[in-house]
Structures are given as C-alpha cells and as structure tokens.
Chains A and B, each alone.
Chain A
Amino acid sequence: MVNVLIKIALLLLLILSGCATTSLPPITSSTFATLEEDEKGLWRRSEEEQRIINRSGLIYKDEELENYLNEIARKLTPPEVLNYIQFKVKVIKNPYLNAFSYPNGVIYVHTGILARMDNEAQLATLLGHEITHITHRHAVRTFRDIKNKTAFLATLQVSLAVFKDDIIREIVNILGVIGTIAAVSGYSKKLETEADIEGFKLMLNAGYDPYEAPKLFEYLKKELEDEQIKEPFFFGTHPRLQERIQNYNSFLAQLQYPNVTKNTEVFLQKTKNVILDNAFLDLKAGRFNMAKRGAEKYLSIKPDDARAYYLLGEIHRQKGEKDDSEKAKENYEKAISLDPSFPDSYKGLGMIYYKQGEKALAKKYFELYLSLYPKAPDKAYIEEYLKTLQER
C-alpha cells in the first residue's frame, strides 16, 4: 500500500508540474485540438498498466462477446471522437460488480456486472458512462485537480481512504495508479454526474430505452442489500448507486422518448456464457446465493444445459446446510439425465453418498466418474475413497 501511495505521489508530481487548468474541452467539442502533454503521459502510463492486466490471466476470452461489446461501444460513440480514440472493450474475470476505463479508450467490464444485466439498453448505459469518462478527459482533469489543491497529500489520503480492505489493497497493486482511480475510488461527484448525463444522452441517441438506465442500478442496489454484500468497488457502493439512480430518474422526468429498444434477446444470447462462467466465479468466492441466481438465469436462457444443473448441484453440496445434500443430488441427477457423458456430476453424487455412508452408491458413482474421466485431476482422491470403501 505504501508502495502504491509513493507511486501515485511520484507520478503526480512528475507529470504535473505547475498549476494546470482542470477545465478542458471534451474531445467531442469543436474547440478540442490535441491532447495536452501531461495527458499524453497518462496515456503512456495507461498502456503500461493495461499490459499488466492483459498478461495477468484475468481477461475473459470470448471473441464473439468482445466483438459484440465493441460494436455497442461504436454505436454509442460520436463519430468525431473516432479520429482521436479507438475504443476497445475487454472483459475481466471477476464476479464483483465493476467497470472502469482508461483515458486512452480501453474499457474493462467485469463478468460480474455483465452477468447481472438484462438487456443491451442497460449495457449501453454502462458503456455510455465509461465512454464519457474518456471523451470528457476525466482522468487528466482528476489528476490536475488533485495537484492543484493546496493540501495535496491530504487530498490523496482522503481519496485513497476507501482502501481499508485487504482485497482492495491488493487489487490496487494490479490495476496501477490510473486504473485504481478509475476502478476503485471513482472520480469526483461532479465528474461522475457528468458521465451519467452525457452517457445517458449517448444511449438515448443510439435509440435505447432510457427507462432501463436506472433499472440497472436499482437491480444492483437491491441485490447488494438482499445479500448484505459490501462490494469493494465504485459501482457497488451504496451512496454512489443511490446518487446514480436519482440522476437517471431526474433526467427521465424531463424527457419522453418513443420508439426505443432494449435488445434483450440478442444481449442474453451474447452474454449467456458469461452468466454461467461468472456463476462459477461467484461459487469460488463463496457467494452461494449469487451463484445460484446466475445458474438459474442461465437456465432461463438455455434450459437443458447439464453444466448449469451440475453447478446448482455444486452450490448445494458446498453450501452444506439443511436439505442441501438432497437438493444437490436432484441437480446432479438432472445434469446426468441431460448429458450422461458429463463426468463431474457422478463425482458430486459419489462424494455425497460417501459422506452419508451409502457405500454401494458411492462406489457406483466414483467408478462411473473414473470410467468417463480416467485422467481426472482428482483421480488420487477418488481411488483413495474407493480403497476405503473396499476396506470398510
């Protein structure tokens, strides 16, 4: 953490000498000519930070999905901006609700937030917001603003005071300075509101249903409240979500827009794999209810998928509370009925019966598992269970 603070302080001091204006025209403005020198520095720094993210193994690889997200970003982007910035949307394997952008046009969206959206209009709301951070040069304005304040270090400490949790401190190390401000602490209220307003206009101009904008954040807020989850990121913090809902509702009160689209079906088809993969990530993180909702949402799009039933089985087996064993068995059995060649459900059943002392059934399912998956990575455990069952 100290290391990160030093890096941030040095970066700011090095790239921002003198008192610079924070009032810069957006790239969309006719008065915009070229990037400022310190802004170019931020772009170079952004590329370095992105290299770390891109080689970290955190990028979710789905070319079709990436193309789709980039297509929506292009649809939202004012044409004049494309002369200066090539937007690129990438997905990060992370179940937490977040998205963030770098000043050079790269936007990262977590699988967590993507999996919880309902339609393209909600996606457009999110991307419109992030695109505005870029076109309105919020990164350089933020860095200049911090530098211009007399109590420079105090301001820095306040802006980083959110990093109380270990998990956030460690994320800070990976994201780097620019990514941290964009992803974790967020920009000032003024700049976030600007991103809400301008982003909202972008989604409206592209023909999306404006009533979907606040819905996205209402769902997120409700989910966080239901689960009593404190998301460590900007999108998940309650006051910010509340402010954002209010922002959108006040725009909606003033406007009327007919002939708008949500593109629900296309969106769900394109994102269905993310929904299931993210549910597995939620399970890893021990967020059982969220994982279950993800699996059920996936099944509502693709009802006969053995992997989703297997996941439901795993959620119940690993949760291990009252009635969970029976629910796990039902789901594993459903997965087997849909795809008898999918081995993992046999293992799940074997483990439950093994713990319940049902020797014959445990043996049957473990043997089936190994026959379908002779090189299973957990073969040694299964062989040990079978040996124990033989001895008993």
Chain B
Amino acid sequence: MRKLPLIALLFIIGCIPTPPWSKVGGQYFDDSQNFYVELPKGWKKSNRVVYLLLTRDGVLLQNIMITRMDIDAELKYTKKKLKRDMLPQEVAEVIIDDLTSNPNILNFNLIENIPAKISGHQGFRLLFTFRNEEGVKYKSVYYGFIAGGKFYGIRYTAAERYYFDKDIETFEKIVKSFKLLSEET
C-alpha cells in the first residue's frame, strides 16, 4: 500500500512532457548532427525539432538554425540537387533557387553572395531580405557548405527593423565557433 504514492509519482513524472524550449549557453555538442558550437547566454533551444533552433525573444522575431542534410536528399522547393563536386558558388545557386521557389518568401532581395570559410570548409555566405505573407520584412544571413556527403546550413533570420542588427554579432560568433566533430565522408 505504501508503494502506491511512489508508483503514482513515477507515473506522473513519466507523463510530464519535455518542455518545448530549454535554456542554453556555453559549449554545445550535437553528436547526432556532428557539430559543436558556443552558444550565447539568454537564448533558448527548441526541443521539438531535430535541427538546432535557437531564439531569444521568439522565433518570429529572431531565430538561428543549424541544419544538416544528406546532399542526395530532395530540397523542399526546387527539384535541383546538390552534388559533392559543386563549387561553393554552385551550392549557393541551388540554395538561392530553393529559397526563391518557396511561395512563402515574398519580395526576395539578395544583397550579397560571397565565398566564406566555415570550420575550414569552403562555403558561401548569403545576405538577403524578404517579406512573409503578413508583409513583415525579414533579413537573413545564411552560411552553407558541403562536407563529404552532407550539406550544413547555418542561418540567422530576424525582423529587419531593430532585431536583425541586435543579434547579428552574436550569430557571427556562433558561426566562428562552429566545428565539425568528425570529418564527413
């Protein structure tokens, strides 16, 4: 009979769902996604997605995403495929075409498309603005590179007014700290 409250307690604990967001800060190792980054304090990480999704004030105001995908995987909006032997400029071309084929990205304006080095890999850095269907203007910085059979994307998106400038430095620090845990084959 004494065991009953304990069983009930265990049952309740077992039923408590994982919170949607958890606080982050400092070193962050993601073995399943094969990368390491230094995360700022005061930010939250989503527990609802496989990739790393961070925000401080809310995803619609600012967010940082680190994604990893097989280069053979289909992109969401373009039928183009990434290939191992692509130049960073060609990879950027495919990513831009995927972004601009997304019907939810309106008034897309590419401000900059330049080569960039991420964790020792040749990649690209895009800077662009767009509006969502509510007419809100966003600004994004998107780093990407191919390592072996994987494509890595590190992206910061924020409302252009006020929020973008506020956290762009934080984002660039995250990019600088980004390391692959092991080289992709």
**A contact residues vs B (CB 8 Å cutoff):** 52, 55-58, 94, 166-167, 170-171, 173-174, 283-287, 318, 320, 351, 354-355, 377-378, 380-381, 384
Contact = CB atoms under 8 A, between A and B. Distances in A.
Interface stretch (B58-66, B96-104, B153-161): B96-104
Contact of B114 (A58, A170, A380): A380
Contact of A285 (B101, B104, B114, B133): B101
Among B76, B80, B108, residue most surrounded by chain A Cβ atoms (within 10 Å): B80
A287 B102 CA distance: 15
Given A284-B97, A318-B80, A384-B115, A174 B87 contact: no
A56 B77 CA distance: 18
Interface in B111-145: 112-115, 131, 133, 135
A351 B93 CA distance: 13
19 contacts: A55-B107, A56-B107, A56-B131, A58-B106, A94-B103, A166-B76, A167-B76, A170-B104, A173-B104, A174-B103, A284-B100, A286-B75, A286-B97, A351-B90, A378-B89, A378-B113, A380-B114, A381-B87, A381-B114
B83 A380 contact: no
A286 B78 contact: yes
B88 A381 contact: yes
A380 B115 contact: yes
Nearest to A58: B106
Contacts of B76: 166-167
B79 A285 contact: yes
Contact of A286 (B80, B87, B133): B80
A283 B90 CA distance: 14
Contacts of A174: 103-104, 106, 133
B77 A167 contact: yes
Contact of B133 (A52, A378, A380): A52
Given A56-B106, A170-B103, A285-B78, A351 B87 contact: yes
Instruction: Specify the main secondary structure of chain A where it touches its partner.
Output: helix
Among B101, B110, B133, residue most surrounded by chain A Cβ atoms (within 10 Å): B133
B85 interface: yes
Nearest to A284: B97
Given A170-B104, A171-B103, A354-B87, A287 B113 contact: no
B79 A286 contact: yes
Nearest to B81: A286
A320 B83 contact: yes
Contacts of B88: 381
Among A171, A318, A354, A355, residue most surrounded by chain B Cβ atoms (within 10 Å): A318
A320 B82 CA distance: 11
B133 A55 contact: no
A318 B87 contact: no
Given A284-B97, A287-B79, 14 more contacts: A52-B133, A57-B107, A57-B108, A94-B103, A170-B102, A170-B103, A173-B133, A284-B78, A285-B79, A286-B81, A318-B80, A381-B89, A381-B114, A384-B115
Nearest to A282: B79
The 5 closest A-B pairs by CB, nearest first: A286-B79, A286-B80, A57-B107, A56-B106, A170-B104
A378 B87 CA distance: 13
A34 B185 CA distance: 70
B120 to A, nearest CB: 16
Contacts of A320: 83
A303 to B, nearest CB: 28
Contacts of B81: 286
Contacts of A318: 80, 90, 93
A381 B135 CA distance: 33
A174 B77 CA distance: 16
A355 B85 contact: yes
Nearest to B88: A381
A283 B102 CA distance: 14
B110 A377 contact: yes
